Structure 1
Amino acid sequence: MSLINVTNLTFAYESSYDPIFENVSFQIDTDWKLGFTGRNGRGKTTFLNLLQGKYEYSGNISSAVSFDYFPYHVEHKEYLTLDVIEEIYPEYVHWQIVRELNLLKVSEDVLYRPYASLSNGEQTKVMLAALFTKENRFLLIDEPTNHLDMHARKSVSDYLNKKSGYILVSHDRAFLDDCVDHILSINKTNIEIQKGNFSAWWENKKRQDQFELASDEKLRKDIKRLTDSAKRTGNWSHEVEKTKNGTRNSGSKVDKGYIGHKAAKMMKRSKNLEQRQQSAIEEKSKLLKNIESSESLAISQLEYHKKQLAELENISISYGSKTVCENVSFTIEQGERIALSGKNGSGKSSILKLICGEDLQYTGHLSRDRQLKISYVSQDTSHLRGSLSDYATSSGIDESLFKSILRKLDFSRLQFEKDISTYSGGQKKKVLIAKSLSEQAHLHIWDEPLNFIDVISRMQIEELLLEYAPTILFVEHDRAFCENVATKIVELEGIQEA
């Protein structure tokens, strides 16, 4: 056991006036399984980069262990997996790698296949196996669940539960609960560490918020009283200044020397009082700032003239000679929230694209009216660039509504001024979701909408779907989200290799 000590850490990017961290201090035990949470843009990945020494900062970070980052950047994906492992860890021992792969339920034969031919889940597991065989290392695991199906997430969480000595960034509540024993959270005004899994931390967080909210009314009354008093003091100072003009309201002359001396004393006194009042206002205001804003979202779907919006009968989809799914049948009826489930590669995204009208090679029967309006959220965010205003205009949506939704999803006013291409992965996904919520549609189709999105925003979106009960077909591997939201689950089996 050893400690990672963070003392008075302060860091800001060169292009920003606002610090990401300011005089932050805490300790991490290197035996912990540490979950790392916080809203998008709060600095989770930045902190991992600071641990690795990638940026200059003020303060001090000391540790007796070295850090390894996941995902490791693989330069030559065309190499055999065994060669990629050697690149990650040149001193690896073969039997140790095989042991780790067995724990991750991965066959040894992946070692002799090109790394590029492995699925996302297999690549994630191979990388974790290589990194965990290293000695005296503390792993910085940054969102390993993105694009992993539920089966892969379960095997990875089971594996991590048997390990220790890592920071895990994840927004999947169930995943965190399965494999962490402490939570490091970046809040609005501080960073704190608590013992327990995510659910325990969240319950504590809600209790703290309730306590703050109970004090909220009194604090706001105190702030208003102090603000009004500060205004009166300011007006008093202003009136004293006016006496220097040398006349009273009556128009009679006054002793300017006497008034000047009196005004100077009163001005000094009023300024001191004003400063004390302002300090008191700021101190009391700080007490209100740590409650995470998670205002309710809204969705307004168009009414459709039929109960049934679409029907698929024995659909099989192919890309050239490769069939990705076959004999898929289900209906979409108004008010249903359908989760399309299955392993990666089972054709889920292809089914969504087919319903959206994409020209795919398929057999079977798809029934869908031409006048059905669909709002689609894709997995891909690489096309996002330019200003939010231009994006709203080109998308044909109301800019005020679009930005209002983003504000509720924790976008700052400063974020509105930046190019979308500079946003984090989670912020880009929020742009797509805000666009979808701003569109007039009969049916919403979302393909892995929660990738990279912080857990509080996930809960907001979950509450939205439960409250407004829109008709939606979605693919999502967040187990808690699916269990809470879906009214129907359609399981795709995928194609069995001969």
Structure 2
Amino acid sequence: MSLINVSNLTFAHDGSYDNIFENVSFQLDTDWKLGFTGRNGRGKTTFMNLLLGKLEYSGHISANVSFEYFPFQVKHPDYLTTDVVEEIVPDYQQWELMRELSLLKVTDDVLYRPFETLSNGEQTKVLLAALFLKENSFLLIDEPTNHLDMAARKLVSQYLNGKSGFILVSHDRAFLDNCVDHILSINRTNIEIQKGNFSDWWLNKERQDNYELAENHKLKKDIKRLSDAAKRTNDWSHEVEKSKYGNGPVDRGYIGHKAAKMMKRSKSIEQRQQSAIDEKSKLLKNIEASDSLKITQLAYHKPQLVELEHVSIYYGDREVCSDISFTIEQGERIALSGQNGSGKSSLIKLICGEKLSFTGTFRKGSNLKISYVSQDTSHLQGNLTDYAREQGIDESLFKAILRKLDFSRVQFEKDISAFSGGQKKKVLIAKSLCEQAHLHIWDEPLNFIDVISRMQIEELLLEHSPTILFVEHDRAFCENIATKIVEL
């Protein structure tokens, strides 16, 4: 066991006036399985880059271990996988690698195929196996689940549960719960560490939030009471002071003394009121803004929007999925499930109107309007105002949704290409929520998106019950949302 000590860490990106971290201090144990959580753009990847020594900062970070980052940048993807592993761990033992791959249910033959021919899931598993061969290393694992289907996520979480000495960034609640024993969270105003898995941390956070809200409610009432009392006393003192004049012979000295005494009492109440306001300002420091979202769908003139009967899709001679039959009825929330490569994205493309070669019967309602969120965010660039105009959506509504998804106003001035992966996904979701459609189709919408935003989107779909077809590998999300599951 050794410690990673962080003391008085302060960092801001070049040209920015806002510190991402300011005088932050904490300790990490290198034997921990550490889940790393926080809303998009809070600095999780930045903190990893600070540990790796890639960025200049003030303060101190000391550790007796080396840091290794996942995903490792593969310089020669055309090399055989065994040679790629050798680039990462030059002195690895073959039997050790085979042991790790066996735990991850990866067959030996992948080592003798070019790395670039492996599926995304296979690449993820090979790189994890290679990095865990490094001795005296603390692994920084950055969102490994984004290219894993549900079965692979479960397998990788079981693998990580048998390991220790890593920081894991993931927004998949079930995944985190299965393989971490501590949580490092970047909150609105601080960084904190708690023992336990994600569910333990979330329960504690809800308790703390509820306590802060209750205290806030009490203080608001106290401030109103004091404010009303101060106003009454102040009014009385002025009335008493006025009575010194214009009412015949009076004891002005006595009346002036009485007025001064009441004024002093008024000032004392004002000071107590200000003290209560100061106290209130310390509360609500880490309650995340998670205002409810809305979605308004167009009503369609028929209950059934889409029907597929025994559909098989082909790319040339290759069959990507076969004998698929299901319908999409108004009000259904359908999860399209299956392993990577089973044809989920191809089915979505067919429904969205892309010309694909298929057999079987496919019917789609006439003039059916579809709002689509793709997996890919690489095309996003320019500012949000221009993007809203290009997409034909209401700019004010678009930005209001992004604000609810934890975008700061400063973010509105940046180029979208500079956004984090999660922020780019939020742009696509906000656009979809602005569009007038009969059917929403979302292809892996939650990749890179933080947990709190996932919960907001869950609440949106449960409250408004839109007709939606979605692909998502977050097990908790699917269990909470889907009214029907189509398994490929």
Q: TM-score, normalised by structure 2?
A: 0.89
| 1:415 aligned onto 2:390 | no
Partner of 1:197: 197
8 Å contact 1:226–1:281 — kept in the other structure?
no
| 1:472 aligned onto 2:482 | no
8 Å contact 2:85–2:130 — kept in the other structure?
yes
Greater CA deviation, 211-220 or 278-287? Answer: 278-287
Question: Using the alignment, how far apart are the partners of 1:226 and 1:457 within structure 2?
Answer: 38
Deviations, residues 298-330 of structure 1 (Å, cap 9, x unaligned): 111110110100001111111122211111110
8 Å contact 2:293–2:460 — kept in the other structure?
yes
Gaps of 5+ in 2: 231-269
Deviation at 1:77, TM superposition (A): 0.4
- From 461, 471, 487, the equivalent of 2:483 is 487
Greater CA deviation, 288-297 or 177-186? Answer: 288-297
Partner of 1:181: 181
| 1:329 aligned onto 2:325 | yes
SS, match of residue 457 in structure 2: helix
CA gap 1:217/1:276 in 2 versus in 1, 3 angstroms: closer
8 Å contact 2:371–2:439 — kept in the other structure?
yes
| 1:72 aligned onto 2:68 | no
8 Å contact 1:70–1:141 — kept in the other structure?
yes
8 Å contact 2:313–2:359 — kept in the other structure?
yes
8 Å contact 1:223–1:284 — kept in the other structure?
no
Question: Using the alignment, how far apart are the partners of 1:382 and 1:226 within structure 2?
Answer: 55
Deviation at 1:226, TM superposition (A): 9.8
Deviation at 1:387, TM superposition (A): 1.1
Partner of 1:92: 92
SS, match of residue 7 in structure 2: strand
Deviation at 1:474, TM superposition (A): 0.2
Question: Using the alignment, how far apart are the partners of 1:9 and 1:279 within structure 2?
Answer: 31
| 1:388 aligned onto 2:384 | yes
Partner of 1:170: 170
Q: RMSD of the alignment, in Å?
A: 2.0
Question: Using the alignment, how far apart are the partners of 1:227 and 1:349 within structure 2?
Answer: 60
Q: TM-score, normalised by structure 1?
A: 0.87
- From 276, 288, 293, the equivalent of 2:289 is 293
Partner of 1:457: 453
- How does 1:339-354 map onto structure 2 within 5 Å? 339-354=335-350
| 1:317 aligned onto 2:293 | no
Partner of 1:361: 357
Deviation at 1:484, TM superposition (A): 0.6
Deviation at 1:389, TM superposition (A): 1.0
Deviation at 1:289, TM superposition (A): 2.4
Question: Using the alignment, how far apart are the partners of 2:323 and 2:118 within structure 1?
Answer: 26
Partner of 1:26: 26
Partner of 1:406: 402
Partner of 1:39: 39
Question: Using the alignment, how far apart are the partners of 1:343 and 1:298 within structure 2?
Answer: 31
Deviation at 1:222, TM superposition (A): 6.4
SS, match of residue 414 in structure 1: helix
Partner of 2:434: 438
SS, match of residue 146 in structure 2: coil
8 Å contact 2:338–2:487 — kept in the other structure?
yes
SS, match of residue 455 in structure 2: helix
CA gap 1:310/1:141 in 2 versus in 1, 3 angstroms: same
Question: Using the alignment, how far apart are the partners of 1:279 and 1:63 within structure 2?
Answer: 43
Deviations, residues 13-54 of structure 1 (Å, cap 9, x unaligned): 012100000010111111100000000000000000000111
8 Å contact 2:209–2:284 — kept in the other structure?
no
SS, match of residue 189 in structure 1: coil
SS, match of residue 147 in structure 2: coil
Partner of 1:234: none
8 Å contact 1:12–1:18 — kept in the other structure?
yes
SS, match of residue 470 in structure 2: strand
Gaps of 5+ in 1: 231-273, 493-498
Question: Using the alignment, how far apart are the partners of 2:438 and 2:331 within structure 1?
Answer: 10
CA gap 1:86/1:13 in 2 versus in 1, 3 angstroms: same
Partner of 1:147: 147
Greater CA deviation, 358-367 or 28-37? Answer: 358-367
Question: Using the alignment, how far apart are the partners of 2:132 and 2:149 within structure 1?
Answer: 22
8 Å contact 1:7–1:23 — kept in the other structure?
yes
Letter in 2 for 1:335: G
SS, match of residue 141 in structure 1: strand
Letter in 2 for 1:447: D
Deviation at 1:433, TM superposition (A): 0.4
Deviation at 1:60, TM superposition (A): 0.6
Deviation at 1:228, TM superposition (A): 11
CA gap 1:113/1:336 in 2 versus in 1, 3 angstroms: same
| 1:372 aligned onto 2:368 | yes
